[in-house]
Chain A
Amino acid sequence: MQTRKPKISKELKEKLLDLEKLKYCFECGICTASCPMMELAPSHYNPRILLETIVLDPEKALTKPDIWLCGWCYRCYERCPQKLKPPEILLLVKTHAVEEGILEGFNEAAKIMGETVALAESCYYVCFHPERTKMRQEDFENVLKKLIKNRNKTKRQKIKPQGEKIAIIGSGPAGLTAAYELAKKGYHVTVFEAYPEIGGMLRYGIPEKRLPRKAVDDDVEYIKGFGVEFKTNTALGKDITFDQLKDEGYKAIFIAVGALKSRKIGCEGEELEGAVCALDFLRDVKSKKTVTIGEKVAVIGGGNVAVDAARTALHGGAKEVTILYRRTREEMPANPWEVKEAEEEGIKLEFLVAPSRILGKDGKVAGLELVRMELGEPDETGRRTPKPVKDSNFTREFDMIILAVGEAVDTSFLPKEIELSDINTIWADPITMETTKEGVFAGGDAVTGPASVMEGIVAGKRAADSIDRYVKGG
């Protein structure tokens, strides 16, 4: 590609600085320290320095691979004292780079990704979103093809598993990443998966439209190439026990079972036909089971799963989909950009409402009785608690209710020595990832509660490094 001298207009620069308050960045470093991508590729990516480059020399930023390495997890925004949104600042820069036809940074970033992250292809779909820059599909596909080609070269130098045995429970982003990292270090890794197919939330949770099966297949194939063994349909605590694993000579265990237990809202009518849990719904759609989707669908909840379920329902043929959330947009835990895209697709959002009853007719869902909420004082977590407004009940007709009020971790299979956190997830040391049982590590959603793919990958990487130190006696 011919290198053009990049230009950035005064207007765009002003927009970058003003709209996103970039000029108020005091460089406290919180974005960098909280960034999963920074942890994965520290020599390639530092959001603070990148933002500074955009302020001082935006033209230079256009050609840098760094702008293409943001994984849209919004961890930086959640912590930034100035409430900057680096993902959206970078999108403006990237979009401009695409307009100017500057793609060398994108190419370079793909190379870095291929070398750094096991799930590179999946990440391109669920984390990196180059399509948001309105890049030509062709350009995107070319880069992906090149990434896969490069990766396969590495695969040929296959490492034969010969080292100590490590067990990984769960094959989601955290488990797969840990498996890959440990296999690369020469360990003999076995991944135990309760479900018939590998991939965890990548496979069963994220809608096909956002993450094609092929991408997950490619990534899994690549990881298999390092000699990682997979045992599907094998659930810990049911098909295999902790003691068995120990007896079979596994030196360390990494629990990455995710958060798959759908929470109930505990209101009347949850058993009616047409009332489903979001995760079950997403899994059934993805496993190509026949799923009946209603015409008027209500999704209850404000997280990413709620948004995914809403979009899946809409793509699956629902006429009208409404997300009902009990707080306001400001408190919505879902990725703001996904929310924006959902709205653009025509999904309605209603805030400060909560269901008090699911209404039924002939055993089927007929609607919802809702109650208006108002935000009270901040609770201990700092979020303002929603409180029902007295006598504000009203009803609304729906023929399908998808419950996405949060996902919990199934901890029933755990031995007593493994303690839980105050939010009823598995407790693991934030730095070493070790649980309260020696040699047992945990990470991903099972520890943090529902989080992004990027955060799962980091947990896997961190656990692999820690397990390596542990086994080597470091």
Chain B
Amino acid sequence: MSNPQVVEVKQSSLQKEEPRIGVYVCHCGLNIAGSVDCENVAKFAATLPNVVISRDNRYTCSDQGQDLIKKDIKEHKLNRVVVASCSPRLHEPTFRRACEEAGLNKYLFEMANIREQCSWVHLYDKQDATEKAKDLVKAAVAKVALLEPATESEVPIIPKALVIGGGVAGIQAALDLADTGYQVYLVEKEPSIGGKMAQIDKTFPTMDCSICILAPKMSDAGRHPNITLLTNSEVQDVKGYIGNFKVKVLKKPRYVTKDCSACGDCSKVCPVIMPNEFDVGLAVRHGIYTPFAQAVPSTYVIGMEHCLNKDGVLKCDKCIKACERKAIDFDMKPETVELEVGTIIVATGADVYDPTSLRNYGYTKFPNVITSLEFERLINAGGPSGGKLLRPSDMKIPETVAFVQCVGSRSDRGHLYCSNICCMNTIKDALLIKEHWPDTKIYVFYVDIRAFGKGFEDLYKRARKEGVIFIRGLPSDIYEERKTHNLWLVGENTLQNDVYKVNVGMVILSVGIEPRRDSDVIQKLLVLSRTNDGFFMEAHPKLRPVDTPTGGVFLAGCAEGPKDIKDSVTQASAAAARAGILMAKGKVTVEAITPKVLPENCKVCGLCTKVCPYNAVVLNKDLKHVEVIEAACAGCGTCGAECPFGALYMRHFTDDQIIAQIDALTEHDADKKIIAFCCNWCAYAGADFAGVSRMQYPTNVRIIRTMCSGRVAPKFVERAFVRGAAAVLVAGCHIGDCHYINANVQTQKRVERLWKKMERLGLNKERLQLLWASAAEGERVASKVREMQSIVQSVTKEEIEKSKKMTEKV
């Protein structure tokens, strides 16, 4: 990796120049103007120091809006620009580009977030929302005056990709990238790629044979020159950053070498017999086996946990003797493969809901109550019953069958979300039964049938035409008849207001899908966020639906949320395209927010070196000051917060800039305000999410954005109190979810030290709050602000006066 060019921060000529600031207050239609008096805010901005021009307009982000800024920069010789509109997480790049186009360095631009963090969260309080918007603009103006121009360094991107998960999404993403010409590593936990789609019999709405359309893709992936297949493997460690990830993959031993011809002679002689995972336990397999006929790779595998030789002693050598090609090797050891990739696609899929806990439905208690996935194996010609729908109790084909919908979905007893696929899957399954055994009477018990996709409604109608009976109302209980093992479903037909008692030969619980039970592993490795339902969160639900907040990492398939095969494939191609764009560019610019060392201040104490999560700050004893390794630094700023001497100058988030913001926000009515420091990735994004969701909270909170909560130096908190703030909130990512490895651990330590100090000084430590909130936890942010409101109200004037002297006593 070449060392990106280090940017020299000079006291530029601009610095000496008097700042000439332009302020643009955006109405965003009525999104902002509906609860903020934008005209008034713009008028107020005009009175602020160094503001040359202040305007309000309907849509600042429109071409006209941007043109106006560009024109003003030239005509009014603006050298700083503030836009008060939406979240910088949304439009900062847009406006920065506009500034650049007008010849202004993009680091001389600042945003005031008066939509997500003001108008949307204070919908019904125009007066206070307007006052808050003025404050936010004032803080932005104060900061922008102190901003300095900077040049970004570039990092090359390794033109290789890692795809995690070998289901249909992972396969598609890998194929697309490989066809584009990139090297792809496809990692799959199971011995074969194929995922859930391989287990399904037919697909809706076209009734295509699932494995028939998947198998060609699987073998394409298996023999593509650009794809390296790593099955039976798990990602263990990920280090690095966009374009330059270092990944460790654990390759578990198969105990069968590539010489295997998949003849199956070994399997025939193996004495170990156990339930077959691929057939959801409805059939058996041997200790040495291939998961299914079309498996890729076709190489057999030994499930060592059940093999007679699991203790490392050769107790049984039947397979070795049976194998003509001598492909069995019990000495195989787990292997760690180290990969260097530029982009990562997460396609880890989903799990199937287990309905055992819904006791009233009798799953596992009554043999003829099965799940929809079990049904897929039963109806599949390659399945344990050769495609005959045999009841587990007596191996007979049932005359009546009932499907129960929303099992584990849309429910507080399972998952609150709709699993998206179960309605159409049931309709498809019902038609399959009708196709094979037309006289079967089929009931579908549902609450809502959601046939929203292309061709779905047609299939639903076809099922009705074929005589499938749809009854609105879920059974409350399923009972079993002792002798026949038939089942009674008791429920209410909610359209007839009548209780039904229906007797059927087999019940299929249409189970939902849920996040992978081990999602947290990948989440931690790649620093992803998860939404409340447990699926991975996209960078933006509408505009960046396959990106993640972590640069260079993309999502595909059910890992992001429940979806059908078509959507999974679509998303996989999208993710491949997004990854491809990055790799085609070959380089990525890194934000100029890394620290600069001011050698004259450095006392070589080494405190900063201890807190840097990346070991990017090092002591240089010869030079008698510390040095920053730019390429390794991610710009969290925790070193700057730790340095007692101001020797680390955090570009774009300098002490002076942040203090200017604090001072601006505390100029008036500080004793009624909460000053909040939020990290860019989680807490600030969470506050944005609260806005998008229109969660209402008190207007007196003022948020200052830092990249990481680790940037929040104790002196910032103290400054807020000295300026008379009623309360201070420090908010960051949950411990373990920090976007800078573990920088937020320093946040915690610093806040705890501050609490102790406050106690020592006789101050109510409740006035300083610490919050961990993820980007999806808008409500957590909102309720924290609500909760702090009572603290604000209880703070007395004396207490405020006391805390104003907080720094004096030290």
Q: Please give the distance in Å from A83's CB to the nearest CB on chain B.
A: 4
Total A-B Cβ pairs within 8 A = 88
* A381: interface (CB < 8 Å): yes
Give the residue name and chain of the B residue nearest to A75 (CB).
B476
Please state if B493 and A29 are interface contacts (CB–CB under 8 Å).
yes
Q: How far is the CA of A155 from the CA of B373 in the complex (A)?
A: 58
Contact of A381 among B359, B413, B490 (CB under 8 A): B359
Q: How far is the CA of A39 from the CA of B477 in the complex (A)?
A: 14
Please state if A29 and B474 are interface contacts (CB–CB under 8 Å).
yes
Given known contacts A34-B476, A79-B360, A79-B476, A26 and B448 CB-to-CB distance under 8 angstroms = yes
Please state if B413 and A431 are interface contacts (CB–CB under 8 Å).
no
- Which residues of A lie under 8 Å from residue B473 when comparing CB positions? 28-29, 33
Please state if B497 and A82 are interface contacts (CB–CB under 8 Å).
no
Contact of B492 among A21, A32, A381, A419 (CB under 8 A): A32
Please state if B499 and A48 are interface contacts (CB–CB under 8 Å).
no
Q: Encode B313-354 as 1/0 by CB contact (under 8 A) with A.
A: 000000000000000000000000000000000000000000
Q: Please give the distance in Å from B177's CB to the nearest CB on chain A.
A: 40
- Which residues of B lie under 8 Å from residue A26 when comparing CB positions? 410, 447-448
Please state if B356 and A83 are interface contacts (CB–CB under 8 Å).
no
- Which residues of A lie under 8 Å from residue B94 when comparing CB positions? none
Contact of A430 among B414, B479, B491, B494 (CB under 8 A): B479
Q: How far is the CA of A436 from the CA of B481 in the complex (A)?
A: 11
Q: How far is the CA of A397 from the CA of B348 in the complex (A)?
A: 54
Q: Please give the distance in Å from B505's CB to the nearest CB on chain A.
A: 16
* A49: interface (CB < 8 Å): yes
Given known contacts A29-B494, A32-B492, A81-B413, A427 and B364 CB-to-CB distance under 8 angstroms = no
Q: Encode A14-37 as 1/0 by CB contact (under 8 A) with B.
A: 000000010000111111111000
- Which residues of A lie under 8 Å from residue B358 when comparing CB positions? 382
* A380: interface (CB < 8 Å): yes
Give the residue name and chain of the A residue nearest to B408 (CB).
A81
* B805: interface (CB < 8 Å): no
Q: Encode B476-503 as 1/0 by CB contact (under 8 A) with A.
A: 1101111000001011111001011100
Q: Please give the distance in Å from A425's CB to the nearest CB on chain B.
A: 13
Q: How far is the CA of A181 from the CA of B413 in the complex (A)?
A: 37
- Which residues of A lie under 8 Å from residue B448 when comparing CB positions? 26
Give the residue name and chain of the B residue nearest to A421 (CB).
B482
Q: Encode B440-477 as 1/0 by CB contact (under 8 A) with A.
A: 00000001100000000000000000000000111111
Q: Encode B508-546 as 1/0 by CB contact (under 8 A) with A.
A: 000000000000000000000000000000000000000
Contact of A82 among B356, B412, B476 (CB under 8 A): B412
* B47: interface (CB < 8 Å): no
Give the residue name and chain of the B residue nearest to A83 (CB).
B412
Please state if A380 and B364 are interface contacts (CB–CB under 8 Å).
yes
Interface residues of A in 297-313 (CB under 8 A from B): none
Give the residue name and chain of the A residue nearest to B475 (CB).
A33
- Which residues of A lie under 8 Å from residue B488 when comparing CB positions? 430-431
* A42: interface (CB < 8 Å): yes
Please state if B411 and A82 are interface contacts (CB–CB under 8 Å).
yes
Majority-rule SS of B interface residues? mixed
Given known contacts A27-B447, A81-B411, A38 and B479 CB-to-CB distance under 8 angstroms = no
Given known contacts A26-B448, A27-B494, A33-B473, A81 and B499 CB-to-CB distance under 8 angstroms = no
* B406: interface (CB < 8 Å): yes
- Which residues of B lie under 8 Å from residue A21 when comparing CB positions? 412
Q: Please give the distance in Å from A332's CB to the nearest CB on chain B.
A: 16
Q: How far is the CA of A429 from the CA of B484 in the complex (A)?
A: 11
Q: How far is the CA of A279 from the CA of B718 in the complex (A)?
A: 65
Q: How far is the CA of A28 from the CA of B407 in the complex (A)?
A: 12
* B357: interface (CB < 8 Å): yes
- Which residues of A lie under 8 Å from residue B494 when comparing CB positions? 27-29, 32, 48
Give the residue name and chain of the A residue nearest to B414 (CB).
A81
Q: Please give the distance in Å from A331's CB to the nearest CB on chain B.
A: 12
- Which residues of A lie under 8 Å from residue B364 when comparing CB positions? 380
Given known contacts A33-B476, A382-B356, A48 and B492 CB-to-CB distance under 8 angstroms = yes
Give the residue name and chain of the B residue nearest to A47 (CB).
B492
Q: Please give the distance in Å from A471's CB to the nearest CB on chain B.
A: 21
- Which residues of A lie under 8 Å from residue B480 when comparing CB positions? 430
- Which residues of B lie under 8 Å from residue A430 when comparing CB positions? 477, 479-480, 488
Q: Please give the distance in Å from B404's CB to the nearest CB on chain A.
A: 10
Give the residue name and chain of the B residue nearest to A428 (CB).
B482
Q: Please give the distance in Å from B77's CB to the nearest CB on chain A.
A: 56
Q: Encode B392-422 as 1/0 by CB contact (under 8 A) with A.
A: 0000000000000010001111100000000
Please state if A431 and B501 are interface contacts (CB–CB under 8 Å).
yes
Q: How far is the CA of A422 from the CA of B410 in the complex (A)?
A: 31
Q: How far is the CA of A83 from the CA of B480 in the complex (A)?
A: 25
* A378: interface (CB < 8 Å): yes
- Which residues of A lie under 8 Å from residue B359 when comparing CB positions? 381-382
Give the residue name and chain of the A residue nearest to B483 (CB).
A436
Q: How far is the CA of A34 from the CA of B492 in the complex (A)?
A: 9
Q: Encode A380-419 as 1/0 by CB contact (under 8 A) with B.
A: 1110000000000000000000000000000000000001
Please state if B447 and A28 are interface contacts (CB–CB under 8 Å).
yes
- Which residues of B lie under 8 Å from residue A30 when comparing CB positions? 474-476, 491-492
* A46: interface (CB < 8 Å): yes
Given known contacts A34-B476, A431-B479, A431-B501, A29 and B360 CB-to-CB distance under 8 angstroms = no
- Which residues of B lie under 8 Å from residue A34 when comparing CB positions? 360, 476-477, 490
- Which residues of A lie under 8 Å from residue B412 when comparing CB positions? 21, 81-83
Given known contacts A26-B410, A27-B447, A378-B357, A32 and B499 CB-to-CB distance under 8 angstroms = yes
Q: Please give the distance in Å from B252's CB to the nearest CB on chain A.
A: 25
Q: How far is the CA of A429 from the CA of B486 in the complex (A)?
A: 11
Please state if B360 and A33 are interface contacts (CB–CB under 8 Å).
no
Q: How far is the CA of A378 from the CA of B365 in the complex (A)?
A: 15
Q: Please give the distance in Å from B636's CB to the nearest CB on chain A.
A: 38
Contact of A42 among B481, B493, B499 (CB under 8 A): B499
Q: How far is the CA of A382 from the CA of B360 in the complex (A)?
A: 10
Given known contacts A42-B499, A378-B356, A430-B479, A29 and B413 CB-to-CB distance under 8 angstroms = no
Contact of B477 among A33, A82, A378 (CB under 8 A): A33
Q: Please give the distance in Å from A293's CB to the nearest CB on chain B.
A: 37
Q: How far is the CA of A381 from the CA of B359 in the complex (A)?
A: 6
- Which residues of A lie under 8 Å from residue B410 when comparing CB positions? 26, 81
Q: How far is the CA of A39 from the CA of B499 in the complex (A)?
A: 9
Q: How far is the CA of A474 from the CA of B492 in the complex (A)?
A: 25
Q: Encode A69-91 as 1/0 by CB contact (under 8 A) with B.
A: 00000000011011100000000
Q: How far is the CA of A82 from the CA of B412 in the complex (A)?
A: 5
Please state if A46 and B357 are interface contacts (CB–CB under 8 Å).
no
Most buried by B among A28, A31, A382: A28
Please state if A382 and B499 are interface contacts (CB–CB under 8 Å).
no
Q: How far is the CA of A46 from the CA of B359 in the complex (A)?
A: 23
Q: How far is the CA of A399 from the CA of B573 in the complex (A)?
A: 72
Give the residue name and chain of the B residue nearest to A380 (CB).
B364
Q: How far is the CA of A78 from the CA of B365 in the complex (A)?
A: 18
Please state if B474 and A419 are interface contacts (CB–CB under 8 Å).
no
Give the residue name and chain of the A residue nearest to B489 (CB).
A33
Most buried by A among B414, B448, B482: B482
Q: How far is the CA of A152 from the CA of B448 in the complex (A)?
A: 48
Q: Please give the distance in Å from A182's CB to the nearest CB on chain B.
A: 22
Give the residue name and chain of the A residue nearest to B413 (CB).
A81
Give the residue name and chain of the A residue nearest to B480 (CB).
A430
Please state if A429 and B491 are interface contacts (CB–CB under 8 Å).
no
- Which residues of A lie under 8 Å from residue B475 when comparing CB positions? 30, 33
Q: How far is the CA of A431 from the CA of B412 in the complex (A)?
A: 29
Q: How far is the CA of A26 from the CA of B357 in the complex (A)?
A: 21
Give the residue name and chain of the B residue nearest to A35 (CB).
B476
Given known contacts A26-B447, A27-B447, A381-B359, A83 and B493 CB-to-CB distance under 8 angstroms = no
- Which residues of A lie under 8 Å from residue B413 when comparing CB positions? 81, 83
Closest A-B pairs by Cβ, 7 of them: A29-B492, A382-B357, A81-B411, A430-B479, A29-B473, A33-B476, A34-B476
List 5 A-B pairs, Cβ < 8 Å: A26-B447, A33-B491, A81-B412, A83-B413, A419-B482
Known interface pairs A26-B447, A49-B497, A382-B357; 6 further A-B residue pairs with C-beta atoms within 8 A, sorted by A's residue number: A28-B494, A29-B492, A34-B476, A380-B365, A382-B359, A427-B482
